[in-house]
Structure 1
Amino acid sequence: MTVAEASKLDELLDAAQSEARAAGLGYAGGVSPQEAWALHQAGLARIVDVRTAEERKFVGHPPGTDHVAWATGTSMTRNPRFVRELEAKVGKEAKVLLLCRSGKRSVLAAEAATQAGFPHAFNILEGFEGELDPLGHRGAADGWRFHGLPWVQD
């Protein structure tokens, strides 16, 4: 990666933060799945999957990413240790890109991280599987997998 390419990716995060401030969001902002992968590949940000361990294992996940569950089990009980576990994995100053199924849980996780002192907690828009389509299926219109980004399954 060239210095110019790295600079462009840093500018992308700066723009996301400016947009988030203007919109009054309680976190650093949102990035597309493609932008998240580029930032991760360049070593400029860490992707942290906040889905359950079961989702990550059976549905798949981007390779080389970290995992800290926002909630656990079929009842989706909030993980009370989320912030501590996130800090242990990446540190508070890291540029962290949070990923869930559709981009909703990761917003909650980004807000919690920001409130706990993480200044660079971003949401990955669309999530791993995307929104439900009219037939109740995911992955037909948006999301990490829809865009053909790398993923692995255990």
Structure 2
Amino acid sequence: MPVEQEEITLPAALEAAQALAAQDGLPYAGGVLPAVAWQLVQDGQAVLVDVRTAEERKFVGEVPGSRHVAWATGTALTRNPRFVRELEAKVAAEGGKEAVVLLLCRSGKRSALAAEAAAKAGFAHVFNVLEGFEGEIDDKRQRGGADGWRFHGLPWIQD
């Protein structure tokens, strides 16, 4: 008699994100708000991976304990051709492509592209952190005044 694999039960926030993603036709598991992402990481339910450049992390700040795999590099933001391999290596200890992975960028746009690439490469539970680290640009051409990780007062450090 074959052994049945135990079904993965995700927290309610991730299940809701997956349902919304399916409804919207997203190619990855979905999006979660920064506070939800932080709680999932604190609870050991997910791995947070920052996909911004090394320079952004150094000069703008980063989330303590987050992993780093740049989606793009340099001032021209040239796509990192090794992104998927590097991501898999960074989360190997947590289950590799089966791990719950939360991707964070500046505003949630690059991380959505990174989540799509990861999902196409076989990552089963990859989510975009909505709003990103700094949030959207406002009418004053500034970030951080209305949304984003830092706006919500979540933990971050700066080099």
SS, match of residue 105 in structure 1: helix
SS, match of residue 48 in structure 1: strand
User: What is the rounded CA distance, in whole Å, between the counterparts of 2:135 and 2:141 in structure 1?
Assistant: 11
Alignment of 1:59-138 (within 5 A): 59-90=60-91, 91-138=96-143
Say if 2:53 is the partner of 1:52: yes
Aligned residue pairs: how many? 147
1:150 corresponds to which residue? 155
User: What is the rounded CA distance, in whole Å, between the counterparts of 2:128 and 2:13 in structure 1?
Assistant: 13
Offset at residue 22 of structure 1 (A): 1.1
Offset at residue 72 of structure 1 (A): 0.1
Runs of 4+ in 1 over 2 A off after TM superposition: none
TM-score by length of 1: 0.94
Gaps of 5+ in 2: 1-8
Say if 2:30 is the partner of 1:25: no
What one-letter code is carried by the residue in structure 1 that aligns with 2:133? F
Q: What is the percentage of aligned positions where both structures have the same residue?
A: 73
- Taking only aligned residues, the RMSD between alpha carbons, in angstroms, comes to 1.0
Gaps of 5+ in 1: 1-6
User: What is the rounded CA distance, in whole Å, between the counterparts of 1:18 and 1:137 in structure 2?
Assistant: 32
2:40 corresponds to which residue? 39
